[in-house]
Amino acid sequence: MLSHIQTLILDEADRMLDMGFGDDIIKIVSNLPKKRQNLLFSATYPDNINKLTSIILDNPIKMEIEDTDKHIDIEERGFKSDNKDKTLIQILQSFQPNLALIFCATKIKTTELSETLHNKGFDVATLNGDLEQYERQEMLLQFANGTLPILVATDLASRGLDIEGIDIVINYDIPTKAQDYTHRIGRTGRADAKGLAITICDDYAMGKLKDIRPSLVVEETDQLRPDKNFLLQGKYSTICIDGGKKKKLRAGDILGTLCKDIGLDAKDIGKINIYDNNSFVAIDKSVIKKAYNRLKNGKIKKRKF
């Protein structure tokens, strides 16, 4: 079954080992052809990575990418809390971000917190390991295009997530390792933008800070100035079109139909994402019904989708 494999790629290898997949990796590798190309990528290089590489790699060439953290501008703050839900909402209503990424320690907490925020009137996406791959893709897409401007996630989102415009990262739950803290806050302040990272500090977090971020200054919540009328809600709604690259559908085709045929203003159209079998377009909520009905009953490139 695996005899045709010519290349083995292990991405986020340190994270895979942290999650306890070391034995599974070795078992899979033992069933691969001996003659193959091996590529291993890891943000950090702890001792267990060295052990793994000695097993699966043969005289490897090691390449290190220069650290670019010195160019990142992230303001870090902490706030004491005896009610984390209340403090979180105060933070959102004080800093009023456009895109907010909130980290929780468990999958259950991401779901619970998302429901809490949704019930308060915020537009929220959830990302955790219980979601199918297509569900994760749709959640991330709607977060990135501004349909759901809050993403509540586990550490699944702390690596490999490169979304422009995340102005604030909030540690609802403090991570267990300093390197996880670094990965989390690195989701903001990207592409030379200024970022903001805030940690909510209950008694447990206060006890962990000396190991995670001893330099973090923790403030009282009376320093916050929340606007209780502020609710972070999406400007757009997202429409899925049943056609993509395989049907030779392009972003320009969708844009042309929306503007020329349907009569939308270009400023009412957000990001357009084209995949193999479907496409997604973000459209301002004020004209979403018009766009949906016309697309549903109309054509793109003289074809119905």
Which of 165, 194, 223 represents a domain boundary (last residue)? 223
User: pLDDT digit string (tens) for 196-235?
Assistant: 999 999 999 999 999 999 999 999 999 999 999 999 999 9
CA–CA separation, 230 and 213 (whole Å): 30
User: What average pLDDT does the chain have?
Assistant: 92
Give the count of domains, the chain: 3
**Residue 289 — pLDDT band, cuts 50, 70, 90?**
very high
Which of 223, 248, 265 lies at the terminal end of a domain, its last residue? Answer: 223
Query: In whole angstroms, how far apart are CA 110 and each of 58, 107, 117, 163, 173?
Result: 41, 5, 11, 20, 10
Q: Is residue 106 part of a domain?
A: yes
Highest-confidence range of 24-28, 68-72, 120-124, 163-167, by mean pLDDT?
A: 120-124
Both 109 and 215 in a single domain?
A: yes
Q: Which residues pair with 194 in a beta bridge?
A: 73
What pLDDT does residue 66 have?
A: 67
Q: Is residue 20 part of a domain?
A: yes
Q: State what percent of residues in the chain have pLDDT above 90.
A: 70
pLDDT of residue 71: 63
Examine the pLDDT at 25 and tell me if it is beyond 90: no
Query: Has residue 230 been placed in a domain?
Result: no
* Site of tokens 């909510």: 200
| Cα torsion angle, 186, 132, 289, 232, sign | negative
pLDDT attached to residue 68: 54
At 67 the pLDDT is 59
Residue 301 and residue 260 in contact, taking contact as beta carbons nearer than 8 Å = no
Clarify whether residues 90 and 129 are in a common domain: yes
The answer to whether the CB of 86 falls within 8 A of the CB of 112 is no
Last residue of a domain, one of 192, 223, 254: 223
Specify whether 113 is located in the same domain as 195. yes
Kindly indicate the confidence band of residue 236, based on its pLDDT and cuts at 50, 70 and 90.
Answer: very high
Domain that holds residue 264: 236-297
